[in-house]
């Protein structure tokens, strides 16, 4: 399918209702950051941010969601077919075989033993992944108010590298299938649809599920389902439904530990402000210390949740333990 020649216009009604001028992103970001920032909440040396909210007790609550033992991988494929199109020099994975079944015939090993080996080269954020706390800054400040230049250097994130989160991203997962509740007959939201806090609450109520402190929330918009049906198009960086900037207070007040979506950038694209780029990231990561998951495949899980009426589950989603990385691939597993 060809990429649309016109870019959809994002509705700014929610932004204006919250008292923000779409022409003034700087003022809005500063005002919201001052209101919701968690700098210092867990001490000057903290490296976990919102993961501090995911306690042992809450992890046990997540384990109690397992009743059937059904499992769902929430990862898109890591292969050469997509979704990347070169934005910021991001490419799709390049998978190369070092040894194949043909080399096994060479007799390198004794008693007929043969084997295969391979290597992969890819940007760490080319497919299903977490944004770490060193990924986004606000006016030169990283999570907890640290100077970004001191945190992330050419050697990587020396303070909040993704490896610091590797043992923590497991707990109660909650699916908010906004596409199924508020979307079209296919259960899909249109590109440029800004998901508001009211939308998230309406979806939560429709599902009969609670969202609270320490939860890992998965938001399905339906864009990935449409992409699988119609082709990649502008999926990586183009127009998309997503969170409105006005959800910053909801992200703060609910106390969730992390949030992931089936889109490339979590927030609505185009962004609601004029001349802006990912303003909600500028609040969520450096100020809330919130882990953002992008490009998750929520389709099979969503179908199962709709079928059995249960929208919570145990979720384990550890990023690859890559020292100093500011993001990392993940194969999240939901267990119901």
Written as six digits, the tokens of 278 are: 């990912």
User: What percent of the chain is predicted at pLDDT more than 70?
Assistant: 99
- Can you give the C-alpha Rg of the chain in angstroms? 20
Residue 106: the pLDDT is 80
This prediction has a pTM of 0.96
Give CA–CA dist 294/296, Å, rounded: 6
**Which pLDDT does position 5 carry in this prediction?**
59
Whether the per-residue pLDDT at 110 is higher than 90: the answer is no
Top pLDDT among 1 and 157 is at 157
Arch. (CATH architecture) of 13-86+125-335: 3-Layer(bba) Sandwich (3.50)
Q: What number is the average pLDDT over the span 191-208?
A: 98
User: What's the mean pLDDT in 10-26?
Assistant: 97
Tens of pLDDT, residues 289-321 = 999 999 999 999 999 999 999 999 999 999 999
At residue 101, the 3 state secondary structure works out as coil
Q: Give yes or no for residue 74 having a pLDDT over 90.
A: yes
The pLDDT tens digits for 119-152 are 999 999 999 999 999 999 999 999 999 999 999 9
pLDDT of 250-267, one tens digit each?
999 999 999 999 999 999
Q: How far apart are CA 111 and CA 261, in angstroms?
A: 50
Cα dist from 323 to 161, 163, 241, whole Å: 6, 6, 32
Q: Please compute the mean of the pLDDT values over residues 213-238 and round it to a whole number.
A: 97
**What does the alpha-carbon distance between residue 64 and residue 44 come to, in Å, rounded to a whole number?**
34
pLDDT at 3: 47
**Digit-coded pLDDT (tens) for 179-190:** 999 999 999 999
Residue 2 has pLDDT above 70, yes or no: no
Q: Where in the chain is the domain with CATH 3.50.30.50?
A: 13-86+125-335
3: Cα separation from own chain's centroid: 24
- How far apart are the C-alpha atoms of 123 and 75, rounded to whole Å? 16
pLDDT band at 88 (very low <50, low <70, confident <90, very high): confident
State the Cα–Cα distance between residues 214 and 188, nearest whole angstrom: 27
């Amino acid at each position: 399918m060809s990429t649309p020649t016109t870019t959809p216009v994002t509705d700014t009604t929610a932004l204006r209702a919250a008292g923000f001028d779409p022409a003034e992103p700087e003022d809005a970001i500063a005002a919201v950051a001052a209101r919701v920032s968690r700098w210092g909440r867990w001490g000057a040396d903290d490296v976990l941010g919102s993961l501090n909210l995911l306690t042992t007790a809450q992890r046990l609550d997540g384990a109690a969601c397992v009743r059937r033992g059904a499992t769902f991988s929430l990862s898109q494929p890591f292969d050469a077919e997509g979704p990347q199109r070169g934005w910021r020099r991001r490419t799709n994975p390049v998978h190369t075989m070092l040894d194949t079944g043909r080399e096994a015939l060479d007799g390198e090993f004794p008693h007929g033993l043969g084997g295969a080996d391979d290597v992969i080269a890819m940007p760490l954020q080319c497919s299903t992944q977490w944004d770490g706390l060193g990924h986004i800054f606000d006016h030169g400040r990283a999570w907890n108010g640290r100077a970004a230049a001191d945190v992330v250097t050419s050697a990587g994130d020396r303070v909040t590298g993704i490896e610091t989160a590797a043992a923590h991203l497991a707990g109660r997962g909650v699916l908010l299938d906004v596409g199924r509740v508020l979307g079209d007959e296919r259960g899909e939201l249109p590109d440029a649809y800004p998901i508001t806090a009211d939308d998230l609450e309406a979806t939560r109520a429709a599902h009969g599920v609670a969202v609270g402190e320490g939860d890992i929330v998965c938001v399905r918009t339906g864009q990935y389902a449409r992409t699988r049906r119609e082709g990649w198009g502008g999926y990586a960086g183009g127009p998309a439904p997503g969170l409105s900037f006005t959800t910053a207070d909801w992200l703060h007040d609910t106390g969730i530990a992390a949030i992931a979506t089936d889109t490339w950038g979590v927030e609505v694209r185009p962004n609601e402000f004029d001349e802006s780029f990912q303003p909600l990231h500028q609040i969520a990561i450096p100020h809330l210390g919130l882990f953002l998951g992008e490009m998750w495949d929520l389709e099979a899980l969503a179908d199962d949740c709709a079928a059995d009426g249960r929208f919570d589950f145990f979720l384990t989603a550890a990023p690859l333990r890559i020292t100093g990385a500011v993001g990392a691939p993940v194969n999240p597993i939901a267990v119901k």
